């Protein structure tokens, strides 16, 4: 089940103290579609001041878990690789008694949404990150522009392709790049051979992580 709490939030515009309901956890397998859609659209994080009507996005941690599909994504705004989750928080949320669950961190709302999308598609997020990093270079060469970011946007089992949407150049232009599923499979192999023991339950698997894994892989193959 989901859990919520009431938080006092001072309006950044008029300083009025609002009391808002925030979600601590959301359970994807029992809470139904409505709440999940609100989460993915960002509506759950929208703040509107009762007094002056000022609107803003709230940033707070929320754990999304789907036990049926065996994954949890812990969204902690602005977390990075060096600032692993607080041990107490990890203890409270990891449900250590559950085996065979993939536990991930996400440091931005877009990463959070992407993780949920990947796991719901039954894909391996480590392989996706590695494939994406490889495609950054391809897109950069093709467009002659710097790639600012990208996310998983399409998967076709029938055609054997996966697709990513990238943002390139100063204007953040959208560039869609698809690739063969074999690239994904090769990436999954690389991920499987990468051993890392962070001693943590929740792991941050993002662009930096994938770059590091690819670096280690290339080094090994040079020897």
Residue numbers 40-59 binding Zn ion by CB under 5 A: 49, 51-52, 54
Query: Sign of dihedral through CA atoms 130, 134, 140, 142?
Result: negative
Q: Is 210 exposed, middle or buried (0-12, 13-18, 19+ CB in 10 A)?
A: buried
Q: Does 147 participate in binding Zn ion (rule CB under 5 A)?
A: no
Nearer to Zn ion, 22 or 89 (CB): 22
CB of 38 to Zn ion, least distance (A): 22
Q: What is the CA radius of gyration of the chain?
A: 19
Number of helices and strands in the chain (H, E):
6, 11
Q: Confirm or reject binding of residue 176 to Zn ion (CB under 5 A).
A: no
Please give the residues from 1 up to 40 whose contact with Zn ion meets the rule CB under 5 A.
11, 13-14, 16
Tell how far CA 161 is from the center of its chain: 21
* Contact status: 215 vs Zn ion (CB under 5 A): no
> Strand 55-57 relative to strand 17-27: parallel, antiparallel, unpaired?
unpaired
**Residue 56 C-beta: closest distance to Zn ion, Å:** 9
Instruction: Extract the tokens encoding 183.
Output: 């690239």
Closer of 46 and 51 to Zn ion (Cβ): 51
DSSP string, 136-161: HHHHHHHHSS-EEEEEEEEEETTTTE
Site mask for Zn ion (CB under 5 A), range 191-210, x = bound: --------------------
Minimum distance, C-beta of residue 112 to Zn ion, in the bound complex (Å): 27
Per CB under 5 A, contacts with Zn ion among 62-81 are none
Residues in touch with Zn ion (CB under 5 A): 11, 13-14, 16, 49, 51-52, 54
């Amino acid at each position: 089940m989901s859990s919520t709490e009431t938080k006092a939030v001072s309006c950044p515009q008029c300083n009025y103290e609002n009391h808002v309901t925030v979600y601590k956890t959301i359970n994807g397998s029992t809470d139904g579609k409505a709440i999940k859609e609100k989460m993915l659209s960002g509506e759950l994080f929208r703040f509107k001041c009762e007094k002056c009507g000022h609107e803003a996005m709230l940033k707070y941690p929320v754990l999304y878990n789907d036990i049926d599909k065996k994954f949890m994504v812990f969204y902690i705004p602005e977390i990075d690789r060096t600032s692993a989750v607080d041990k107490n928080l990890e203890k409270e949320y990891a449900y250590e008694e559950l085996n065979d669950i993939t536990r991930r961190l996400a440091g931005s709302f877009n990463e959070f949404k992407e993780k949920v999308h990947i796991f719901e598609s039954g894909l391996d997020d480590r392989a996706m990150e590695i494939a994406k990093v490889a495609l950054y270079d391809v897109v950069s060469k093709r467009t002659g522009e710097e790639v600012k970011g990208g996310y998983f946007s399409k998967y076709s089992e029938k055609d054997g392709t996966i697709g990513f949407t990238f943002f390139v150049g100063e204007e953040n232009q959208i560039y869609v790049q698809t690739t063969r599923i074999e690239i994904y499979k090769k990436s999954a192999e690389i991920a499987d051979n990468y051993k890392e023991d962070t001693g943590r339950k929740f792991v941050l698997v993002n662009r930096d992580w994938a770059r590091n894994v690819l670096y280690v892989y290339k080094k090994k193959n040079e020897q």
